[in-house]
Amino acid sequence: MRTLSITVTGEDRPGITSSIVGAVSGTGAEVLDIQQVAVHGHLTLALLLAPGEHADELRDAAAVVAHRLGLTLSVVEGTGDNARQRHGRAAVVVLGAPLRADAVSLITARIAEHGANIDRIRRLSRYPVTTVEFDISGADVDSLRTQLSLVAATAGIDVAVAPGGLARRGRRLVVLDVDSTLIQQEVIEMLAAHCGREAEVAAVTERAMAGELDFEQSLRARVATLAGLPETVLAEVRRDVILTPGARTLVRTLKRLGYTVGLVSGGFIEIVGELAAELGIDHARANRLEITDGVLTGQVLGTVVDRAGKAAALREFAALEGLPLSRTVAIGDGANDLDMLAIAGLGVAFNAKPLVREQAHTSVNVPYLDSVLYLLGITREEIEEADRAEPLNADSM
């Protein structure tokens, strides 16, 4: 098949596409492909046509319109459609604050060395972080993820690699840790502050989150220090909880997309449950404090939600929603999140400990929880457009 590739570039303004396409219409030419992008007011429009017997006529018509509009024109003759089988499709999302050219250079060079091809590039956000998505083919996702994680560590950026195609679309389950992820504090430390033992509890918490202590033993030891606190302290702590910047935006946007959202926490359902209800979150799993006669006994009831318990909760939530684990996203910061990060389709270490960053599928090291949306291919413009459509539900970052 004889083809004609027509590309015009120049200052973007309304009517360019209609003028160029209109110039080559009426000849019976077949449109095989058409793509357009505008970057900072500069337009590139490309058409691939099967011109039949009208190649010269099409070339001349395009030249006349391009000259009249002050555009640069390129016309290349060839053969065959540019359609091809795109095996090994993947989405590579790069976040930087700022995103420097040398970092992008390292990423693109490593993709090329991997033997993959960059088919499309688009910007997902400009603020509060700059995010760019590369749509690539010819990739081995696991291998490329490992290679690009090394680049990310060197360049000081965040990189996520996920399967492309249909795997990128459709409903998902997103499960978040609570303390230091959904919220900025550690609830047990807030409770300990009410009995003057916050320093002792904080030290144990840090060792547990770093993987140095068995979580269940450390939890029971910390909860024991709360014995004698009145139940009313729980309401006071709940009022003092501060959500991580972007938390409401993340949850609100996921719910608008029809996603299911869950919370899993080594903290306490007395706090987590209310957070879930406030944010419209579908599932919540956490430890339950024993309360007798309005006073905390220093014990927890039932099986402790530890590292294995968090992974089990993710599996249970996914089963309830009829979703495979490949359609799940887990977000956490501590060692007790590692099991659920490992089994999820995408495990995200959010401002996490070094051990967690090393083992998660990807890391986000900016303080905005809604940056996770960019890893799913959602743009900042789409988030803001949805907020404008429902202003009563909008909130600030």
Q: Which amino acids are annotated catalytic? A: 177, 179
* DSSP three-state, residue 379: coil
360 dihedral zone (left: phi>0; alpha: psi -120 to 50; beta)? beta
Which among 341, 372, 368, 367 has a CA at the least distance from the CA of 355?
Answer: 341
Q: Please report which helix (H) or strand (E) contains residue 56, including its range.
A: helix 55-69
| Pairing of β 295-301 and β 158-163 | unpaired
Looking up tokens 């309005």, which residue turns up? Answer: 294
Preceding omega of 391 cis (within 30 degrees of 0): no
Residues facing residue 78 across a β-bridge = 3
Measured in residues, the chain has a length of: 397
Looking up tokens 């209609």, which residue turns up? Answer: 18
CA pair distance 369, 333, nearest whole angstrom: 12
Which among 385, 325, 386, 390 has a CA at the least distance from the CA of 173?
Answer: 325
Distances (CA, A) of 385 to 34, 71, 230, 256: 26, 32, 45, 12
Which among 210, 113, 141, 180 has a CA at the least distance from the CA of 331?
Answer: 180
CA pair distance 396, 248, nearest whole angstrom: 9
SS3 letters for 119-154? EEEEEEECCCCEEEEEEEECCCHHHHHHHHHHHHHH
End-to-end CA distance of the chain: 53
Distances (CA, A) of 93 to 99, 135, 258, 280, 350: 12, 9, 22, 28, 15
